[in-house]
Structure 1
Amino acid sequence: MATVTLTSSPLSGHLLRRRRGRLCTKHHIQTQHRLPRAWRLYCAPEGGGGEVSAPPAPSAAEDQAPQEQPHDFYLLATNRSDFNDIIMVIDSPAARYLVLDHNKNVHSILPKTTVWTNSYWDEFVSLPAVVPRGPVALLGLGAGTAAHLMLKFWPWLQLVGWEIDPMIVELSRDYFGVSDLEKATESGGSLSVHIGDALSPSATVEGGFAGIVVDLFCDGKIIPQLQEAATWLEIAQKLMPGGRIMVNCGGADVEESLASSWVQNPTVKALCSAFPGQLNWKRLSEQESVNYVTLTGPLPDLDEWSASVPSELSTKVKQWVPCELA
């Protein structure tokens, strides 16, 4: 799993302002992403969002540089909920981040200077090209990173997202533009947001989904239910004929080198058991968070798939291979 623990100046230790709330077991959350290791966290200026104060004045040396440095991060909002005792919205010149849990991992990203995240979220954009036309589920919506990307390139999509934490949904609308995704595009696509358990039997639609994207984590680890073949068979029942599931499986269960076998990932093993001969996988590069992603169903024709996705993904989809237990 690509995990980066946020460490900042002593200022950040005084930033958390929490609402009262009962702390419950957390589940069904997004996963982490890599941030630069050298960074400084400031409170946002007045009007920047959230109950935060202005950043410290720059030194004489800093005053000669641009006001916003690439590794300067600004805290826009902090909160807690029944599902997450640490919730932060952090801004930078390049992107905005949703940070959760005690390890302070990034669970959603909204890029500013590019469309792409250079991480596993980008892979989800290739799913509509290999499934029937129909609604696509996002199990683990977070702050809407996947939804932004998919509607950008497939504006006719009917996305249906599930997020268990109402506070994250509120922040996603206020800070990550999810409220705009809930409005119909010119092509008729939109995002429908549901607050609740993504694995509930009620998380379905009449006629089934054309595709299901699964991205469910807790405390930096994929939730235990997804390490059981029975869970995947239940999810597959929500598909229409010809539908597929694409999954962010995280990293290996133990420390490993890039040459190590995917079989160390318990979620991939569970999927392979649930869909023998009908599972494909790829591993993202170290620059892309070193996550495994999987796709159910027969391996698509890679040339046709490559020609039907955005050019930035045309080479990447050719990296998919069948997944078979040794």
Structure 2
Amino acid sequence: MATLPLTFSPSRLFHRHYGAKPQQPRLAASVPLLPRRGAASARRLYCTPGAGGGNEVSVPPPPVAEQQGEAPKEEDEYTLLAVTGSDFNEVIMIVDSPATRYLLLDTNRNVHSVLPKTGVWTNSYWDEFVSLPAAVPRGPVALLGLGAGTAAHLMLKFYPWLQLVGWEIDPKIIELSRDYFGLSDLEKETESGGSLSVRIGDALSPSATIEGGFTGIVVDLFADGKIIPQLQEVETWLQIAKMLMSDGRIMVNCGGADAAVSLADDTGPSSWVQNPTIKALCAAFPGQLNWKRLSEKDSVNYVALTGPLPNLDEWSTSVPIELSTKVKQWIPCELA
């Protein structure tokens, strides 16, 4: 029986998309299936009519179920809603489950966006972005690396007055996200006046800005499962900082460590040096950078925040209660 490839790879989970080198689209079915290591049992993925020929595919348990500490259920089923490609992504897949909808990109099937259906939170780095509006003056916020709008959904849920401007380089992703991830709903003005404005193009282009600048910028730019190399350069961050208003801040998904490390070895005041993006940020903003590392169940990504360390007690009382403890985990970058 023919199989359609799909892999949830823990080492590549929750990476975002940026301007990958243009590629000619090809059928996803021509890429070999690589089972996830340690998967206790496979689940079945059923293709909906028109999504890929009606193939039935064995896939490992979904990553989000593991991160939430829930044992995957034997009766879980995953439906392939769409599979295609574009000039920027050789493979684009929309996968559905009873609890979560996924956007998968790249031949490695990296999860780039999720849409929880039975709750609000993703239990991954996207949740951290919800704390940014409470740490900056009121004003527009940029999302550099929009994907299917996971961060935008969360931020407008808790700050319905927020004016978001999101950049995504792949128009096919925007098209699919409007159809399958409710992105078009975010583009409508809320009762409080907030909305998402979608911009298709290079998030690092000089034209990726607005008059007056942003009070906050979220940076989540990945290609082929890796943070784009420009974000490991000091000059890139100095240019992004020019997009900010006075007292504005940048919050960044910095990916993982440069090499595999255990959580026990990664809690010291200088352990951020294991991440090359944070090293570049620290050089660009000396004495004005903070970091934290998500716990292993929360995808072991580093996140960074520019500016002086906020008053953690005040910050914790101004964010949704689910984040009140998490914001107290931020610490300044300090050289050994």
> TM-score normalised to the size of structure 1?
0.84
The reply on whether 1:25 has 2:21 as its aligned counterpart is yes
For the residue of structure 2 that corresponds to 1:276, the secondary structure is coil
User: Which residue, out of 140, 144, 153, partners 2:145?
Assistant: 140
Q: Partner of 2:184 in structure 1?
A: 179
Q: Is the 8 A contact 1:151 1:157 kept in 2?
A: yes
Q: 1:280 aligns with which of 290, 300, 325?
A: 290
Match of 2:309 among 299, 303, 307: 299
Equivalent residue number for residue 322 of structure 1: 332
Match status 1:263 vs 2:289: no
Q: What is the rounded CA distance, in whole Å, between the counterparts of 2:145 and 2:163 in structure 1?
A: 16
Q: How many residues are paired up?
A: 291
**Contact map agreement 1:74 1:90 (CA 8 A) in 2:** yes
Equivalent positions of 1:1-326 (< 5 A) are 11-13=3-5, 25=21, 37=39, 38-46=41-49, 50=51, 52-53=53-54, 71-258=76-263, 259-260=265-266, 261-326=271-336
Structure 2 stretches of 5 or more lacking a match?
7-18, 24-35, 58-72
Alpha carbons of structure 1 residues 36 and 130: separation in structure 2 relative to 1, 3 Å: farther
Q: CA deviation at 1:215?
A: 0.1
Task: Tell me how far apart the structure 1 counterparts of residues 52 and 212 of structure 2 sit (CA, whole Å).
Answer: 45
Contact residue 121 and residue 146 of structure 1 kept, 8 A: yes
C-alpha distance 39-71 of structure 1, shift in aligned 2 (>3 A): farther
Contact 1:39 1:73 in 2 (8 A): no
- CA distance 1:126–1:250, shift in 2 (3 Å): same
Kindly indicate whether the alpha-carbon contact (under 8 Å) linking 2:2 and 2:55 is maintained by their aligned counterparts in 1: no
Q: Deviation per CA, 1:101-154, whole angstroms, max 9, x where unpaired?
A: 121110000001110000000000000001111100000000000000000000
CA separation in 1, counterparts of 2:75 and 2:120? Answer: 18
| Distance of 2:37 and 2:137 partners within structure 1 | 36
The TM-score, its normalising length taken from structure 2, stands at 0.82
Partner SS for 1:11: coil
Residue identity over aligned pairs, in percent, reads 73
Distance in 2, Cα, partners of 1:53 & 1:325: 55
1:43-86 Cα shifts (integer Å, max 9, x gaps): 3344xx74553859xxxxxxxxxxx9564211100000000001
Question: Is the 8 Å Cα contact of residues 95 and 112 (structure 1) preserved in structure 2?
Answer: yes
Amino acid at match of 1:90: V
SS in 2 for 1:204: coil
Distance across 1 between alignment mates of 2:288 and 2:42: 43
